[in-house]
Amino acid sequence: MARASSTSRPAECCGSVLDAPLDEVEALDLARAFSALSDPVRLRLLSLIADAGEVCACELLEPLGKAQPTVSHHTKALADAGLIVGAKRGRWVWWSIVPERVARLADALAPATRTAPV
Amino acid sequence: MARASSTSRPAECCGSVLDAPLDEVEALDLARAFSALSDPVRLRLLSLIADAGEVCACELLEPLGKAQPTVSHHTKALADAGLIVGAKRGRWVWWSIVPERVARLADALAPATRTAPV
DNA sequence: CGAATACATCGACGGTTGTCAATCGAAAGG
DNA sequence: CCTTTCGATTGACAACCGTCGATGTATTCG
């Protein structure tokens, strides 16, 4: 549920942060995304999901060593940031990466030497 | 564990987060770096510095619209993360980007397609 | 139906973070 | 020397965040 429906933005808008001065709205948007990555548990969570392709949430508790509400809290944070999506099948929720969303963050940090793709 | 690479590596170690499960130490290290990017003021700060190449700290107050201690606090945060460096010349401090450090973060988010150097 | 399971939500706790006024330390100029 | 200026540091406050026990909700099974 609550799939992070992308806003009306095509998501391929932005170049590198290093390229041109960031306006405040875009800065806020990016900051929220990086916030989702600013916790070691969430990074490992992202890594676990990416590595497995698709993982049942129940398989995340043990490798993370965190309580179930904590893991649920973190999956929600990553999902709110659009970095992962969950598909409920039966009693289970299967999580997977949203690669283009992660790639967009990588692009925001890409060296400005990469300009002029034209 | 099943990483094809040895454990303790110099600063150019890591591939993508999406590539292999992240160990806890590496996750903590990356999380700290992304923390530095998780604030809109710091992102605009980074952007301003990158755009100018090298900026006197005194020129950052106005575009950011923040008080001087606040800006100093943020420059310190970015510097602690290794993303910028300051050079004191006379009374002024000139800040500039550490491109390879930023690039390393971009790499951590790069799609796993970048693997397979065999 | 009722019991069991998987996950989300709530509430509370301690720790962290962004912000700024006040102050301090260093460098430059008179 | 004293004054000015740039920037870092301190201290305080409110807001936010990670964590987990308790509870709620939805689904499956007997």
Segment A40-67, tens digit of pLDDT: 999 999 999 999 999 999 999 999 999 9
Give B65→chain A minimum CA distance, Å.
Answer: 11
Supply the mean pLDDT for chain B: 86
| B76 has a pLDDT exceeding 90 | yes
Q: What is the dihedral of CA B81, B3, A43, A100, to 10 degrees?
A: 100
Query: Of A14-18, A67-71, B96-100, which gets the smallest average pLDDT?
Result: A14-18
**Better-scored residue on pLDDT, A116 or A13:** A13
Q: What is the pLDDT of residues B88-109, one digit of tens each?
A: 999 999 999 999 999 999 999 9
Confidence of residue B71 (pLDDT cuts 50, 70, 90): very high
* Nearest one of A68, A36, A64 to B24, comparing CA atoms: A64
CA angle A14, A16, A19 (to 5 degrees): 110
| A74 has a pLDDT exceeding 90 | yes
CA–CA gap between residue B71 and residue A70 (Å, rounded)? 33
Q: How far is the CA of A5 from the C1' of D28 (A)?
A: 29
Please report which helix (H) or strand (E) contains residue B96, including its range: strand B92-97
* Nearest one of A84, A87, A86, A114 to A101, comparing CA atoms: A84
Residue A16: per-residue pLDDT: 78
Nearest to A48 among B21, B37, B112 (CB): B21
Eight-class DSSP state of A110: S
Q: How far is the CA of A42 from the C1' of D30 (A)?
A: 38
Confidence of residue B13 (pLDDT cuts 50, 70, 90): low
CA angle B28, A45, B110 (to 5 degrees): 75
Confidence of residue A80 (pLDDT cuts 50, 70, 90): very high
A112: CB partners within 8 A, 6+ apart: A16, A18, A19, B50
Size of interface A-B (CB pairs under 8 A): 119
| B1 has a pLDDT exceeding 50 | no
Nearest to B34 among A21, A34, A63 (CB): A34
Confidence of residue A17 (pLDDT cuts 50, 70, 90): confident
Closest nucleotide to A41's CA, by C1' atom?
D18
Confidence of residue B112 (pLDDT cuts 50, 70, 90): low
A31: CB partners within 8 A, 6+ apart: B37, B38, B39, B40, B42, B43
Axis crossing angle, helix A99-108 with helix A24-36, rounded to the nearest 10: 120
Residue B111: per-residue pLDDT: 78
B26: CB partners within 8 A, 6+ apart: B14
CA–CA gap between residue B44 and residue A26 (Å, rounded)? 9
User: Would the CB atoms of A17 and B48 count as touching at under 8 Å?
Assistant: no
Q: Which of A17, A49, A84, A104 to mutate to test the interface with B (most CBs of B within 10 A)?
A: A17
| B115 has a pLDDT exceeding 80 | no
pTM of this structure: 0.86
